[in-house]
Amino acid sequence: MINRRKIWLAAVLIPAAMAFGQQYGGMWIPTELNEKEMKEMGMKISAKQIFDPSKPSIKDAVVQFNGGCTAEIISPQGLLLTNHHCGYGQIQKHSSVQNDYLSEGFWAQNTKGELPNPGVTVDFIADIKEVTKDVLAGTQNQDDAAAQNLIDRNIETVKQGFKLEPWQKVVIKPAYYGNKYYAYVIETYKDVRLVGAPPSSIGKFGSDTDNWVWPRHTGDFAMFRIYADKNNKPAEYSEDNVPYKPKYFLPVSIKDKQEDDFTFVFGFPGRTTEYLPAIAVEKVMNETDPAMISVREVALKTLDEKMRADNETRIKYASKFASIANYWKKWIGEVEGLKKSDAVGKKQQYEQMLISKNSQIKPTIDGLNRLYTEQGPYALNRAYYTETVRNAETLTLANLFTNYIQSYEAGKIDSKTLESLKSRLSGFYMNYDAVLDAKVTAQLIALYADKTAPQFLPKGWEQYQDEAKNIALIENMSKNSVITGRAALKGATVYSDIDKVFEDQNALVKNLKKDPLMKLFSELRETYIRTTDGKVNALQSEIDALQKKYMAQQMETDKDRKFFPDANSTLRVTYGKVKGSNPRDAVYYGYQTHVAGIMEKYVPGDYEFDVPRKLIDLYNNKDFGIYKDKTGDVPVNFTATNHTTGGNSGSPALDAHGNLIGLNFDRQWEGTMSDINFDPRFSRNIMVDTKYILFIIDKYADAKWLLNEMKIVK
């Protein structure tokens, strides 16, 4: 629902967005915050309240969830909030056709009813220390290889210097392309239980059609709880564990929002590349992104047909499909956004500006131009190869088994590696449809044969360009293959007893070597290794060395710019304002959506846009409780100018006082090039409004016991 007054507001306020120094976005290390600018923009708390290693601070409520997402603690009993799509794998694991928590949602009635998730972890950051001087000590006059050696040894020494508790570890990571180093003291909790999740028709409303898109109406949240031993310390899952007592938890605000309110997002952004030269951006935009998009497009189309037709396939492939579709769509938006924001042109201008101030930058840029151009064809082949092996699951399997054979023959299979391979494989087979994948694999091989330059193509692979012929051929190989399970299991495709597969490893290796799909894959892999792998990596090392220099030169030369390190899955703060946008000529996006907008999108029975009966009733009866805003409706999602990326999913969005106002889960499509080139005109992060989250917990799920744990700011 976009109301006219808001449109007008958005239009006049846009120039202000550019005024507050957000030209390049920013994901700041929490120990190096620009408190002054944050306060000027409206922040009412101090930087110390956000991050303080010695006193409880907001950072004690923010965790990395299972290595990939972010989550936050919202009660004194370790209640954890993250995205539905971050907990999706766990919700799926507890689901079956009979007990379909994906479709129906899940709400524990009390702590006893919470579901354990062995293997799921949350990481707290106890401290952050810059350790550049010690890590780079003695490397000044060494060549790259010797310097790297010394850096590795220095890192070990620096680590030894940390006084750690038994449940802590320290990780040292480079920033600014190796011009700086930071140490992170980490505490990992391992007993994390599922507490609640809305049905997918709320938590994933709009699914892939709406993914990355604004205006958005997704209740993308799920709740977990951290458990600890009786001393409140990390412990493996045990019935005797108790809810974790946090040092700090976030109060949850249900106050109305206004456009231009100050907001910040605290979390673990994964990876960005904001300091590339123009040539590298051009390669991403014109070559590697389009290649990766084309591979995924083929896989998605075939999976989608069967998932729509068959419920069992839908559940099996739900998580995988979402993950393939996610980046497929992001890359399409990224390419468009790079073009539209003229990222290459702007970078070229920037390079000229730098050179005019510092002539020593010219040889660096020239070198990068030469290296990226030389690397181009190899990087393109790497893009096709890795995406093909990732999305053709049968080839993923063949790759796993090839690695296994090599380790086995080198005598390197100990019981630990074997166990981890087995658990990886049994997880894989559980959600694998060999017949369906044979079709995907056949099509991807055809695409690869068609798109790959002759020097990179295995001998004789021109024959695979014909998709129809390939489908028959691969289906036949698949039927007679051990890796698909179909040969060994007489047609079935699920190895229910993976131990049995590895009972006689000698025989297994012999059979694998005769396997038609293994043979086919080895032609692909060997050609790739011979023609591309070494070359692309060698050039990458040269690029990395020069990129390090370029980074240092940018920082020395462009004194007015405030630099932040590219995202690297470490804890960061990004700040901005609640704001709509003007993504295209004459198009204005309001900053907030409401439940009315869900009803506008409602398509009964549709797998993406169905709405649960109870939500419709609540809407029709205007049964909004204390969660409606000044419009009389419940706000669902909102956008702001925070600079976020993958990994920020589940990150808390906080207000000027440090209260939780939203849950980050996405970015708007027109701005997804912010990983490479943040543009304040279009780059917006998308959050679920805390009002909607509490409305669903209270009115939809009737899970009042969870609300009672929270500190709600009205």
Residues annotated catalytic, as ranges: 85, 220, 649
Handedness of CA 649, 651, 652, 654 (dihedral sign): negative
- State the nearest-atom distance from the C-beta of 331 to ligand GLU, in Å: 12
Residues 331, 639, 643, CA angle at the centre, nearest 5°? Answer: 60
372 binds, among ligand GLU, ligand ARG, none (CB under 5 to 8 A by kind): none
Burial class of residue 468 (count of CB atoms within 10 Å of its CB; 0-12, 13-18, 19+): exposed
- Asked whether 173 and 106 are in contact (CB, 8 A), the reply is no
- CA dist 649 and 123 (Å) reads 15
Farthest CA pair distance, the chain? 74
Number of H helices, E strands in the chain: 26, 22
Task: State the minimum distance, in angstroms, from the CB of residue 567 to ligand GLU.
Answer: 10
Q: Which is nearer to ligand GLU, 234 or 647 (CB)?
A: 647
Query: In angstroms, what is the minimal distance from the CB of 447 to ligand ARG?
Result: 22
In this complex, which beta carbon is closest to ligand GLU, that of residue 246 or of residue 647?
647
Among 633, 655, 666, 675, binds ligand ARG (CB under 6 A): 666
Helix (H, G, I), strand (E, B) or coil at 679: coil
Q: Among ligand GLU, ligand ARG, none, what does residue 325 contact (CB within 5–8 Å per kind)? A: ligand ARG
Q: How far is the CB of 414 from ligand ARG (least distance, A)?
A: 36
* Residue 84: C-alpha distances to residues 194, 518, 572, 652, 666 (Å): 11, 37, 22, 14, 12
Establish if 688 lies at the interface with ligand ARG (CB under 6 A): no
Site of interaction with ligand GLU (CB under 6 A): 69, 644-649, 665-667
The DSSP letter of residue 62 is E
Three-state SS at 275: coil
**90/648 with CB nearer ligand GLU:** 648
The DSSP code for 42 is: T
Q: C-beta of 322: minimal distance to ligand GLU in Å?
A: 10
- Partner whose footprint covers residue 207, from ligand GLU, ligand ARG, none (CB < 5 to 8 Å by kind): ligand ARG
Radius of gyration of the chain (CA): 26
Contact positions with ligand ARG (CB under 6 A) in 182-221: 207-208, 211-212
**CA–CA dist 333, 710 (Å, integer):** 38
Residue 189 token pair: 């909790």
Q: Least Å distance between CB 664 and ligand GLU? A: 7
Q: Which of 325, 389, 444, 474 binds ligand ARG (CB under 6 A)?
A: 325
Bond prior to 215 in cis (omega within 30° of 0): yes
Nearer CB in complex with ligand GLU: 333/485: 333
**155 vs 325, beta carbon nearer ligand ARG:** 325
Q: Is 659 helix (H, G, I), strand (E, B) or coil?
A: coil
Picked from ligand GLU, ligand ARG, none, the partner binding residue 31 (CB below 5 to 8 A depending on kind) is: none
Say whether residue 85 binds ligand ARG (CB under 6 A).
yes
**Closest CA relative to residue 331, chosen from 583, 646, 25, 672:** 672
- Residue 211 binds which of ligand ARG, ligand GLU, none (CB < 5-8 A, kind-dependent): ligand ARG
Q: In sequence order, what are the residues at sequence separation of 6 or more whose Cβ sits closer than 8 angstroms to the Cβ of residue 453?
A: 377, 381
CB of 650 to ligand ARG, least distance (A): 9
Contacts of 510 (CB under 8 A, 6+ apart): none
Residue 566 Cβ, how far from ligand ARG at the closest point, in Å? 18
List the single partner that 648 binds among ligand GLU, ligand ARG, none, CB under 5 to 8 Å by kind.
ligand GLU
Neighbours of 238 (CB within 10 A): 11
Residue 645 binding target from ligand GLU, ligand ARG, none, CB below 5 to 8 Å by type: ligand GLU
Q: Are 711 and 252 in contact (CB under 8 A)?
A: yes
Q: What is the torsional sign of CA 226, 227, 231, 237?
A: negative
Beta carbon nearer to ligand GLU, 24 or 350: 24
In 3D, which of 69, 83, 80 has the Cα closest to residue 267?
A: 69
Question: Residue 267, interface with ligand ARG (CB under 6 A)?
Answer: no
Q: 215 or 243: whose CB is closer to ligand GLU?
A: 215
Residue 1 corresponds to which tokens in the numbers above? Answer: 């629902």
Residue 208 interface partner, choices ligand GLU, ligand ARG, none, CB cut-off 5-8 Å depending on type? ligand ARG
Closest CA to 496 of 401, 424, 422, 426: 426
* DSSP string over 276-300: --HHHHHHIIIIIHHHHHHHHHHHH
Q: Which is nearer to ligand ARG, 223 or 483 (CB)?
A: 223
CA distance 200 to 105: 7
Nearest CB to ligand ARG, comparing residues 277 and 671:
671
Q: How many residues bind ligand ARG (CB under 6 A)?
A: 12
**What's the closest the beta carbon of residue 634 comes to ligand ARG, in angstroms?**
22
Sort 634 into a burial class: Cβ within 10 Å, 0-12 / 13-18 / 19+. buried
Q: How far apart are CB 409 and ligand GLU at their closest, in Å?
A: 39
581 interacts with, out of ligand ARG, ligand GLU, none, CB within 5 to 8 A per kind: none
At which residue do the structure tokens 């899955």 appear?
569
What does 644 bind: ligand GLU, ligand ARG, none (CB cut-off 5 to 8 Å by kind)?
ligand GLU
- The answer to whether 326 contacts ligand ARG (rule: CB under 6 A) is yes
CA distance 457 to 528: 8
Closer residue to ligand ARG in complex, CB, 190/217: 217
Bridge partners, 170 (sequence order): 185
Residues that bind ligand ARG (CB under 6 A): 85, 207-208, 211-212, 322, 325-326, 646, 649, 665-666
